Amino acid sequence: MKIGVPTEVKSGEHRVGISPVGVHELVGNGHEVLLQRGAGEGSSIADERYVAEGATLVDDPDDVWGDADIVLKVKEPVAEEYHRLRDDLTLFTYLHLAADESLTRELLDRKVTGIAYETVQFPSGMLPLLYPMSEVAGCLAPQVGAHALLKEQGGSGVLMGGVGGVSSAKVVVLGAGVTGQNAANIALGMGADVTVLDTDLEKLRMTFWRYDNRVRQIASSALAVREQVLAADLVIGSVLIAGARAPKLVTNDMVAEMKPGSVLVDIAVDQGGCFEDTHPTTHADPTFQVHGSTFYCVANMPGAVPNTSTWALTNATLPYVVNLANHGWRDALRADPAFARGLNTHAGDIVCKPVAEAHGLESVDVASVLG
C-alpha cells in the first residue's frame, strides 16, 4: 500500500505522523511511504533521514493525499485540508470528533474511513495510542502553569516550590489517569503542594503508593472539586471519557471566586474541555483571562515538544499502521477488537457511539461495518 504522511498545518503543530523508524518498518513490509518534503523539519528530523530508510519525498500535499491509500497524521484535518478527503481513503490520526461537529460532518459527507488514535481501547480501559501524548501533556501542564503564574504573565506571582518559610503553590489536578499522574509527578518535583481528585478509588490508591503519600488524594465530588479549586493557585484539568465530550467540572461561578491571578490549564480541551469557560487556544496565543484568572487551553500541547512527541507517538502507533498496511483496515480491525474501537466513521456513518451522541446523531455498530 501507499502510506501518505503530509506536513501538519494546524497552528503551532510541528509533529509529524511517522519517524524514520516507522518508514523503515513499512518499507521493509513492502509498502511505499509518501512523505511531504520538510514534514519532519519541525520535529528536527531531516528529509535525508527519511530518504535513507526508503521514503519517497513529495512536494505537493495534494499529491501526498491523492496518491495514498492510507493517510497518517498527528492532528485532525483542518478546513484547508477538507477538499482532500475522499471515500476510498483510510485516515488514521487523532480526530477528537465529539468536540468538532464540522469535521464530523465533512468525514460523513465525504464517506471517509476515519480511525481515531484516541478511541483505540483495550478491555482494561487503557487507550494505548493516547497514552504517550497524555504523558507529554501531563508533564508540560505544570511547566506552562508555573510560567503563567509569573506576575509579568498576569499570574499571582506564586513560585511553584516556594522557599524556606513560605508556602509552595497549591496545585489541584482533576483526574488521576495517565495525564493527571504525570502532571502530579512534575508538579511534585517542582516542589508544589499537590492534590489529585478522581472518582476512581483504585487510581487514587495508586497515587497514594506511587508518591508515598506525598500527594494528597481526594475522592471527587461536586463539593470536593469546588473546595479544592477555590483554594488552588493552579488547576490542571485532565478528565477524559474515551471518545466523548469531557464533563464540565469547573464552572464560571467557581472561577469568579478563585484567587486573583490563579491559573487553569485544560488538557481536556481537545474533547471540549472540563472547565465551563474553556475554548481552544494556540501556542502563539495560549492564554486568556476569566474573572482575573488565566486559562491555558492549547489544543495541541505536545506540539510544543515535537521531537519527543513524534518519536513517542510512532512507538505507539507503528504496530497498528503496519497491520493496516499489511491487511487493510477491515481485516486489521476484525482481528483486533481494541483496534476496532478506533473506527469513528465509514461510508457516511458514525461508528463511535459517544461521537454520535455528542452531535445528536445515530450511530451504527462496528460489527455491522466489519461484517
For 100-124, what is each residue's pLDDT tens digit?
999 999 999 999 999 999 999 999 9
Q: Tell me, what's the pLDDT at 162?
A: 85
Q: What is the pLDDT of residues 320-340, one digit of tens each?
A: 999 999 999 999 999 999 999
- Please answer whether residues 49 and 20 qualify as being in contact, where contact means their C-beta atoms are separated by less than 8 angstroms: yes
Handedness of CA 317, 322, 323, 324 (dihedral sign): positive
How confident is the model at residue 117, as a pLDDT? 97
96 is catalytic: yes
DSSP annotation of 80: G
Residues 303-312: tens digit of each pLDDT: 999 999 999 9
| Distances, alpha carbon 77 to alpha carbons 2, 45, 272, 283, 290, in Å | 19, 22, 17, 18, 30
pLDDT at position 296 is 98
Average pLDDT over residues 50-68: 98
* Catalytic annotation, pick one of 270, 277, 346, 349: 270
Pairing of strands 193-198, 216-219: parallel
pLDDT 10s digits, 285-324: 999 999 999 999 999 999 999 999 999 999 999 999 999 9
Residue 12's pLDDT is 87
> In angstroms, rounded to a whole number, what is the distance separating the alpha carbons of residues 71 and 249?
36
Cα separation, 172 vs 349, whole angstroms: 40
Sign of the CA dihedral with 82 first, then 83, 88, and 90 last = negative
* SS3 state at 64: helix
Catalytic one of 14, 96, 100, 349: 96
The order of strands in the sheet holding 2-5 is: 56-58, 32-36, 2-5, 70-72, 90-93, 113-116, 343-346, 349-350
Q: Contact at 8 Å (CB) between 327 and 339?
A: no
As a whole number, mean pLDDT of residues 38-59 equals 98
In the block, cell 485532525 appears at 76
pLDDT tens digits for 247-266? Answer: 999 999 999 999 999 999 99
- Structure-block grid coordinates of residue 331: 481485516
Instruction: Give residue-wise pLDDT tens across range 149-205.
Output: 999 999 999 999 989 999 999 999 999 999 999 999 999 999 999 999 999 999 999
**Would you give the DSSP letter of residue 35?**
E
Residue 362, C-alpha cell as written in the block: 445515530
* Annotation marks residue 327 as catalytic: no
Secondary structure class of 43 (helix, strand, coil): helix
Q: Is the pLDDT of residue 11 over 90?
A: no
Taking residues 76-82, what's their average pLDDT?
96
Please report, rounded to a whole number, the percentage of residues in the chain having pLDDT higher than 90.
95
Whole-number Å distance between alpha carbons of 316 and 300: 18
Q: How far apart are CA 83 and CA 110, in angstroms?
A: 9
Cβ atoms of 365 and 352 closer than 8 Å: no
Q: So what's the pLDDT on residue 232?
A: 98
pLDDT at position 243 over 80: no
Look at residue 79 in the predicted model and tell me its pLDDT.
Answer: 95
